[in-house]
Chains A and B, each alone.
Chain A
Amino acid sequence: MAELRKETSQEMGLHDEQLKGRTQKKFFSIDESENLTYFHSFDVDTSKSATIDALDMTPREINREIRELMEKGIGDITVDNPMSRHGVGVGILNRLNLTFSDSLGYFGCGLIDGPNVHIKGRVGWSCAENMMAGTVVIDKNAGSTFGAAIRGGDLVCKGSVGARTGIDQKGGTIIVGGKTGAFSGFMMQRGRMIVLGDAGMNLGDSMYDGTIYVGGEVEELGVDCVQADMTELDVRYLTEKLALYGMKTPRGVEKMQKHVSGKMLWNYANLEPNEKKLIL
């Protein structure tokens, strides 16, 4: 386990440095965040609703049906009977309210950019992989590699999740109501993971940056992951964030443990503009 280097920034990522690199400049500019344009997106009306009965449909047919409904301007879609199928609800680059009335299989809601998704069941492995923006809320449990490589948005599981949660996380916020498995936050680069229950072994192993909050017990920290002091801003941020999803930790957010990288890579830790607004 690494030791915390005090010169690193552990203060809620409120830096104002101009970062190098085209992608990072864009991500860290508040102006840019308000002016994102989704090419080839559809102009949908969230007051217009439709329901898809997916009982006898293939994943491709379900995804195509969602797209066709968005093309027609429908902005509120419910999918009944998804039957734990894999690869459903993927590649949606649009504003949309999407509800699944039951569980999804692997790679559910992967590669999405913008929709607000509610899954009234559980999800299999790799839910919301590479998610860019939007929200995904799961009522039950989730499998392993939950939120792998997400870059933005809020990914919320109200139950427990499997191993390698947030592996290669590059931004966004993952919230877990229960416990998380081994190697959560592995190679995490940016963003936040909030676990209200226990965390398995090797938490934050090889993390470059980002923050992991744990409400329960941590089985073991991974290489480069260190415990840091909770600040007033952390508490405020957690309180505001959890309130968005009606979630609480039994011991109170003040008692949560904060974990960061022991290395000095604070450029990655900078909060995205939308997250800064919560506490500024």
Chain B
Amino acid sequence: MCGIAGIIHKKAGKGVNIGQQMTSMLQALKHRGPDSTGYAMYGKDNGNQVLRFKVAEAADLEGSYDIHATIKDRLETVNSRLTELGVKVVKKESPTEYAHRYEVEFSGDMKKVADFVEDVEGVEILSIGNSLELVKDLGDASVVSNQYGLNDFNGTHGIGHTRMATESDVDIRSAHPYWAYPFSDVAVVHNGQLTNYWTNRRSLERSGHRFSSNCDSELIAVYLADRMSQGDDLETAMKGSIDYLDGVFTYLVATKDQLGMAKDVMAAKPMVVYEGEDMIALASEEVAIRTLFDHRIETFDPYHGEVKVWQN
């Protein structure tokens, strides 16, 4: 069934510890999906682009004797390709052997960078953005947040996902959130099943879009990217998705300064919203939002076919 959650602070100032807040909400939703947990959080923009990518799956580490050498080779190839394109890496971090975070200086076409890097076998760009940090891995929120050091992440807003795999494998590739390639700073999490995934995927692929997984949820990210590339703003693109997507869904999308929510016309998947003066929090279940408060709160369920967008 999956659990999704999001939070946006309107008066974050220098940032709020949204890493801890998101972990708290996602851990409370663990029963909705224990297979993997993902975060898309928005921190301070220091002028550099942040590139999150992986060079292998977590499960690969147990499946092959030469995987460590393979990972090393892939990483070297990625580095040489970045250099070839004139991308200057100013900071490197490796939370795990297979997942990496680069801060880069580059003013050229990031789509070209993404395509060239992903051309390396086994490599997948998880996200590119000025403030977006997209992290996903197997396990619950406490495991992933500790593994990637997210408990002290300061930022303005974020979305997250706890996955119960129904449409595709239990791996990082199929975990949420999905980055809306090739748009900087746009990510999506989804709860539900899309029944026109393959039809629409083929159509979008013919238009030049890339899919990195076989997970139906990726369609939402790619569709929004497609609409925004044609000039739609976020809210318009989301409203279009209500008719475009067939099946049951509630999804959250985040951009550099916005958080959006959409619900299908049958309202088949849950969503509870808390709208305060300084903060908006959303989750599949109120029990997740309550972990952020020590007092009673007012919440509501959005209606069928409803789209809402909040600005920070």
Contacts and interface: CB of A to CB of B under 8 A. Distances in A.
Contacts of B289: 84
Interface in B253-312: 265-268, 270, 272, 285-287, 289-290, 296-301, 303-304
Given A122-B299, A160-B300, A164-B267, 9 more contacts: A84-B286, A105-B286, A140-B299, A141-B301, A144-B267, A163-B268, A163-B303, A182-B303, A200-B304
Contact of A83 (B287, B300, B304): B287
Contacts of A84: 285-287, 289-290
B300 A141 contact: yes
A115 interface: no
A13 B270 CA distance: 35
A164 B304 CA distance: 11
27 contacts: A83-B290, A84-B286, A84-B287, A84-B290, A103-B286, A103-B296, A103-B297, A103-B299, A121-B296, A122-B286, A122-B299, A124-B270, A124-B272, A124-B287, A125-B270, A140-B299, A141-B299, A159-B300, A160-B301, A162-B301, A162-B303, A163-B267, A164-B267, A182-B303, A183-B266, A200-B267, A201-B304
A102 interface: yes
A141 B298 CA distance: 9
Contacts of A124: 270, 272, 285-287
Contacts of A85: 287
Chain A interface bracket (under 10, 10 to 19, 20 to 34, 35 or more): 20 to 34
Interface in A205-241: none
Contacts of B304: 163, 181-182, 200-201
A141 to B, nearest CB: 5
Q: Interface of chain A, helix or strand or loop or mixed?
A: loop
A157 to B, nearest CB: 11
B253 to A, nearest CB: 22
Listed from nearest, the 3 A-B pairs whose CB atoms lie closest are A163-B267, A84-B286, A182-B304
A182 B286 contact: no
A181 B297 CA distance: 22
A190 interface: no
A164 to B, nearest CB: 8
Q: Interface of chain B, helix or strand or loop or mixed?
A: loop
Contacts of A122: 286, 298-300
Given A122-B286, A124-B286, A143 B268 contact: no
B303 A106 contact: no
A182 B296 CA distance: 28
Among B265, B289, B301, which residue has the most Cβ atoms of chain A within 10 A?
A: B301
Contacts of B290: 83-84, 103
Interface residues of B, number: 19
A162 B287 contact: no
B69 to A, nearest CB: 48
A86 interface: yes
A125 B287 CA distance: 12
A182 B267 contact: yes
A57 to B, nearest CB: 14
Among A84, A124, A140, A200, which residue has the most Cβ atoms of chain B within 10 A?
A: A84
A78 to B, nearest CB: 15
B237 to A, nearest CB: 23
Contacts of B287: 83-86, 105, 124
A107 B224 CA distance: 35
Interface string A253-275: 00000000000000000000000
A106 B266 CA distance: 19
A120 to B, nearest CB: 8
B101 to A, nearest CB: 35
A75 B299 CA distance: 30
A97 to B, nearest CB: 21
Contacts of A160: 300-301
Nearest to B293: A83
Given A105-B286, A122-B286, A182-B304, A143 B270 contact: yes
A84 B267 CA distance: 21
Contacts of B303: 162-163, 181-182, 200
Contact of A143 (B265, B266, B272, B298): B272
Contacts of A143: 270, 272, 301
A82 to B, nearest CB: 10
Contacts of B272: 124, 143
A105 B300 CA distance: 12
Contacts of A164: 267
Nearest to A144: B267
A124 B272 CA distance: 8
B4 to A, nearest CB: 15
A106 B301 CA distance: 13
Nearest to A140: B298
A200 B266 CA distance: 10
B7 to A, nearest CB: 16
A125 B283 CA distance: 13
A106 B290 CA distance: 14
A21 B227 CA distance: 58
Interface string A28-52: 0000000000000000000000000
